Amino acid sequence: MLISILFSLFLQVLPVGIFNISGASTASTTNYLSVKKGYAMSYDGQQGRANWVAWTLTSQDIGEVPRSNKFRQDDSMPRSFLIADEQDYKYTGYDRGHLCNSEDRTGTYFLNEETFLMSNMLPQTPQLNRGPWERLEAYCRKLAKRGQKLVIYAGGIGSKDRLGSTRIPIPAYCWKVIYTPEKTWCLLFPNEHDLHPNWQSYSVSKAQLEKMTGYRFP
């Protein structure tokens, strides 16, 4: 019981109800903790991609700020870290897939621009990024507009290839965990071209997702 309590306290090191599901810290190069204004992340500086990104979503986060489209490097990361440049995606057939998505941060210009940091991107097929992944994002905003507060985690696992001529891995799967006052969703999407349009068809158990990711979700 004591170990469980201590572990729970250890997880609660991030603001606004976000748990540090991997024990990320600024001392690690493969599990580097980076806390932004609008989200928090664990970043793998050797692989060149986020392990996970987490954020909260309420109606106050959704406003009238237009999409900035200012993709740029994350200068807050250590210089030794590998981070994909937006040019690395050219002619690869993969989208710059947001983890914390732009439309969840349309309350202020700064927070919207922050979602376009390249550390917040994963290579996703257009069919995933603009298909069930996007529909799930829209569903979450629908709940937030109804007054619910959501906590969302997102990331990618595995490697099916490399991005262009870089060492950046293309995830085999992209996942999300969404906490609402009424239900928790755990979802695992193959990063492929042939996908079912209904995001709910990719639901998995919390135990399965924890086993595949190695993280402990609250």
Residue 24, classified by CB atoms within 10 Å of its CB into exposed (0-12), middle (13-18) or buried (19+), is buried
Q: Which residues are catalytic?
A: 98
CA separation (Å) from 50 to 107, 181, 188?
24, 27, 16
Residue of 84, 190, 80, 177 whose CA lies nearest to 129: 190
Residue with tokens 């001392």: 27
CA separation (Å) from 121 to 27, 100, 138, 201?
22, 9, 18, 24
Beta strand 32-35 pairing with 40-44:
antiparallel
